[in-house]
Structure 1
Amino acid sequence: MNAVVTDWTQVVDAHGETERVPVLLDLVEREEAPEAWEELWDRLCLHGETVSPASFAALPRLADLAPATAQALELAGAIARGTLQHPDGEVLLAGRPEVLSRLRDLADQRLRSRPAEYDRVFGDLLALAGQHHWSAALENFDDDFYTVACPHCGAEVTIAIGDYGFYSAIRDWDRGDVERRELLPAQVEELPDPGRWMHATAVRDRQRRIAEGIRYLFGRAECPTCASVFSVADAYTSANLPPALETA
């Protein structure tokens, strides 16, 4: 078990309360109250996205529970996904490197089994690895759309990756996506990190759709307005990283 001692009287949950979370953690560990998981989610990841100091304080206990309890790993992943929703989230998360390493290993092991919920676990792994905006953006490339600004002319460009095609376009709400241009996928050997790692993980686990989608996401797009070519991943990152991270 983790040796870190938390003073729960000083740690608030999503409802602004203290001391209830450790009680619930004890209950789920002893398997005495299955309904305690529902309340834990409510207090640690309200509505699946709102986190609090108690959320990060609970990660060591969740890491201890995760090898035997799938719900613990899922909740830990959801907390990591919500890091950017809390003003101090990155600091609170970064203060637990050993716990994060354990949780990443557990999520990676889960992916190797190719679970039915592979897409979600893949997103959890990205969040636990600090790739929060990619964790929020990636689904399974069935019909993914991304909105970016052309770095050259500032035009709003829609990027489609999935069953509707692989293209850049200008979205017209009456006519749909117009002025389409085919995307240029990155060659595997040219993928930059974290795309290279993401692609290698998907290939390892035989997730062909995700692997191919990552090649397009880290590839290049032509702006329909000015015809300049730009990196899709760079444009999306620039649009979605908080200002503090953009200049870090």
Structure 2
Amino acid sequence: MVNWAEMHDCYGDVDRVPALLEQVELADNAEAWEELGYRLVLEHDLVFPASFAALPRLMCLASRSAPARELAGTILRRAAGHHGCDDLLANCADAIAEFRQLLDRHLQSRPVDYLAAFLDSLAAREEYHWSAVLGDFMDDFYHLACPSCAVEVTIVIGDHRRYSAIRDWNLGDMDRRGLRPASFDELSGTGRWMYETAVRDGHEALADGIAHLFGKAECPHCASVFSIADEYTSANRPVLR
């Protein structure tokens, strides 16, 4: 049982969120959903005790309410931040497991919000890093340091451009080297799940971008070859506190 007297929202209130949850549980109230959204997730990705206290009820509603599914996913994607609510998040483990299955069914329906639901699914798998940084590969950029010479390398994965380069802010991307996408057999873990899910759901462009992201790049400066995903993850993975 949640002690709402200890669960403040972004305004410091402890009574408004449970009242709003009761409203949306009775009826799909657009105004109540809007207020819940800005009380539970503040700009700059801040979340609060009330955000995690509300998660199980939001996830319970998610099967019949798109706003509930979207708000639960939005909160979950911010679980790697410095929110000080690890105990509340741990208490949501069973609800998150069910939510993960619900999201997978939603993805198989090939919804218009596919990428958002895909990112929510990553967060539900505790892959907060990829949930935060993965794009649609129309024109994505990833910056990392070469593990051999430490020079900054820009990785470009877009509709028509897939290369590593040294970026000069005046001259543009210099000395481009084509990326080497991972084959299916080379993928494992999260990369394999991401790729298989995108292929299963008919999102070939997303799958191809993932194969490149989990493939290899050549450093234009020293010509060493490295794993893009490994190096980008080691430099950018958020720490759950």
Task: Tell me the TM-score normalized by structure 2.
Answer: 0.95
Which whole-Å CA distance do the structure 2 matches of 1:145 and 1:170 have between them?
12
Q: Distance in 2 between matches of 1:25 and 1:244?
A: 27
Question: What pairs with 1:89-168 in structure 2 (closer than 5 Å)?
Answer: 89-168=85-164
| Structure-1 residue corresponding to 2:192 | 196
Structure 2 unaligned regions, length at least 5: none
From 25, 39, 43, the equivalent of 1:29 is 25
Equivalent residue in structure 2 for 1:18, among 9, 14, 38: 14
State the match for 2:236 in structure 1: 240
Aligned to 1:56: 52
Question: How far 1:45 moved relative to its partner?
Answer: 1.2
C-alpha distance after superposition, 1:168-214 (max 9, x if no partner): 00111111111111111111011021100110100110100010111
Deviations, residues 63-111 of structure 1 (Å, cap 9, x unaligned)? 1111110110100110011112234355542332111111111111110
Gaps spanning 5+ residues in structure 1: where? none
Show the 5 A alignment for 1:65-76: 65-76=61-72
Identity of aligned residues (%): 52
Give the TM-score of the pair, scaled to structure 1.
Answer: 0.92
Aligned AA (1:191): L
Q: Which has the higher contact order (CA 8 A, sep 6+)?
A: 2
- How many residues matched? 241
**Alpha-carbon RMSD:** 1.6
Check whether the contact 1:148–1:156 (CA below 8 A) recurs between aligned residues: yes
What is the CA-CA distance between 1:152 and the residue it aligns to? 1.2
Q: State the SS of the aligned residue for 1:154.
A: coil
1:156-235 matched pairs, under 5 angstroms: 156-235=152-231
Supply the AA of the counterpart residue of 1:144.
D
